[in-house]
Structure 1
């Protein structure tokens, strides 16, 4: 059971609801208590100031001043104090002389007696405001002020209001405040209930420990599989991605970033924009060929986003190209073996029939016409990887009835430092040229490859005898999926060659699109591809 659970058997959303309601009740209760205290204090002060004002008006009455000087008990002073008390609603109006002897009091029997609460402060000439005291009557809020004749204090006036009056006034205000507090409490409880309902909907009713387990499982799955995973929401912002996706795509993919701002393959952007399921879509990312699958995610017919998965097919393509080269060489050798066997059979037949002269002439003809399938490269290209690649492509061309030759000005005396990059660029350019030459109208169909070393930089040129690049394709020839081949799955070779070259700081471009009289010319520059030392 989670340690954070206050009530192990109670759902977390209900705990949150109760906690929120408790907080609202506590805040409202404290607020009412604070308001009550402030109201009581304020009203006590107001009643005290009211009592002081009444006392000052009585102390300024000449009749009261004269009576206090004469120490006259009862009589006009009593009448005057009772009239003021009745008119103002005060609990009492008491007049004393300078010896604290009552001269007027609501209870006649108290006249002539000393006051029950000290009047020394008032007789000293100071006002006493809002003193809560209990004398001969009930607990009251009272104020006192001196009676002066000139500069001499001759007595004091004390006026008080019943505390119950203050309490009743406070209670009425508290009752009114409680109505608003109750409304605030109901509003807070309702808001808490709505928030609780929203929380259940957002979390799909899952408990925190279940959400934690889902998070751990998601992280384990995302970072444990060998495929790249990238998820975007309905606004095409990245919501989920794993490290493998960043590695395969060759770029940083921050969560929350708009997909349109990321440097991804146009095919990936198109797959997400269309929102349709995509299976085994080939895309280029850097030097890699990726297989992309895309699925739109929906819940209750509401689109939530798209999930893409990426698989690396680079190694497979490399092996496939190498296998194609080996197969081409094998097919060429097998064709040579069959041709050589046929010639031997012919020569054997001539000798068996006794046609010695004809056999010698036939043998002389074979000696003069028979050449190796691949012309020797001599000292033009010293690197064994480049030699093997050119021999394989030559055999492939001859098998299809075409000619592949090395330009006379080719010169590569040093070794290649990255055979994979060289094979990617040169192999794809040659394959593209062979296809163009075979589809062209000129015969014999041919391809010329030029290799020239410039320090550690290798310059490559590939020209074909085809019909040139059509005008609509010239500006987008290196985009993924753009191809003159009708069969699906093509359009990656040139894009992959350019990516591989640019990854090394070089480039591949169409130097001459060609026309009806000459084929296309592709040129590549590959810096730091050569070692600078002869092998």
Structure 2
């Protein structure tokens, strides 16, 4: 199963991700606004340059027209030039076209009442033979205008002025902006979505790395604690070895009782009788489980069957002891809270083909939907235990049992017990039976004991 991040990381993930997304949104928003402002400035500069160049080109073209050059200064110049000025203004898309004489008197103007009057802005630059491009406030309002001289025979005889209202430039800029805004917003949203996706991926990666780092630190501290316990356990074994070596059996038993609350099989006559012919390892495992159950008022029943004790002793090796110890330990834990109602029933059956170990309990049982998962390493339905503030890894025992059973040609089957709890049946084929199955031995092959 996928290992979930620690609770602290899960609790911090939401606020941390929201904060990260908020920061990214702010950055993207700032970038969008900055981009929009830059675009506005670029567009504004570009429009003004284009407008200035356009008004200058129109004014120069107008000032060079032969009809304009010939008419300026004549008594009926307005009759000839006004239609030309109106046509140029309309075709060039400018707001006004004004032609003056050499004194700055208007010959043409969009407003008839203004014709024949002195221009409202200084005409000296153009009358002096120079070109002027810039913004001035005239009779029609602020305009970006170009003023150029009208030459005839090398003499300035008038001026041609072409202008575009600043309001028209602003409207043009606004149109340009609305063309750019959707692209800026689209790019910003895309950037935000991409940033959120990257944040999600990096957040998960961070969770994995943080969980791995925390787990590594936990394992390191747990290893240190286990080394201390191992050292202490080794010292106790040395004490026990010394007591047994000097034949102080009673002192050794008292020393063991001082370390953990255990008692001999004599405390349960029925169990002692049932295990009279059982292998020493079976007796030791079940005696310890019985003592643990007695602390809570529970009971342990055992039935050990085998046609030949020597065969049973031979088959019940270290792996078999590990399997039985884990199954009995799990069953004992399952019924401890039941007190006097807690019952564990153990049956060990030996035959030339192998071992069959069945453990029943009166505990809560294992739901059918979890029976396939409960043997996975790391999966556990039990509450997490701690040692010196460190979480103790769970979900190891049943996975080990299944692995050992399968390595010995058997399996582990989980079902419902008649006692109301769970039933665990582990089968281990004997070495002779496994060789016989491969056709390399003449040893008896009664077949694998079925669960």
The TM-score bracket by the shorter chain reads 0.3 to 0.5
* Higher RCO, Cα 8 Å, sep 6+: 2
TM-score normalized with structure 1 length? 0.37
- Which of 1 and 2 has greater Rg? 1
